[in-house]
Amino acid sequence: MDAAWLAVMTGTRHLRGAALAAGSWGPIQSRALVESGKAGLTGVAALVLTLLLKASALTIVSQRGAWQILVLAPCLARWGLNLLAAGAPHAGLSGGLGEATAGSRGRLGLLIAGPTALGAAWSLGEASGAWAFAGVTAWSLAMVFFCRKGAGGVTEDILGAQVEVTETFLLLAWAAALGKHA
């Protein structure tokens, strides 16, 4: 139920991006997929796997009453989205959502998003939250490098995939940590 709630809150936009990004590499393939709206078998498999992993992790987190993680994982995933969007140029279709935040247009948002995410990480997760913030920052900067060199920039789909991968990994990591202490 928690995975469905997260998907509904974002209008499934990030899930769609993750499915389309999984089915393509590079701006030319991504543009063709966005225009067709078809994720293909790889995209559908990535979508199902993401939802299953996220639902499993959310079940463990919910059963342990770790509400902080339910707030912190989406917050940190959006911090990673801001870093990626600000660090790489837009390579998608003109007029898309990514165009409004990619490259230099998104850098101002880092002044608000960074301290907000770090503050939330520390207040809700203390040391583990700070480590998660550092991990998301490192992962997102690596994605900036990859997208600049490999894909020529970011598309809306890559940004959506960034959110879903980051959020799923954080939830799985915290669920595994909570499982050890059960």
Q: What are phi and psi of 154, to 5 degrees?
A: -115, 150
pLDDT for res 182? 59
- For residue 1, pLDDT over 50 is answered with no
Mean pLDDT (whole number) for 127-142: 94
Output 14 or 139, whichever has higher pLDDT: 139
Closest CA to 137 of 178, 78, 97, 88: 78
Mean pLDDT (whole number) for 143-149: 86
Mean pLDDT (whole number) for 108-116: 86
Instruction: Return d(Cα 117, Cα 126) in angstroms, integer.
Output: 12
Q: Model confidence over 32-52: pLDDT tens digits?
A: 545 555 566 677 777 788 888
pLDDT for res 98? 55
Report the amino acid identity of residue 79.
W
- For residue 150, pLDDT over 80 is answered with no
Q: Is the whole model's pTM more than 0.85, yes or no?
A: no
pLDDT for res 161? 84
- For residue 109, pLDDT over 50 is answered with yes
Q: What percent of the chain has pLDDT over 70?
A: 68
pLDDT for res 153? 80
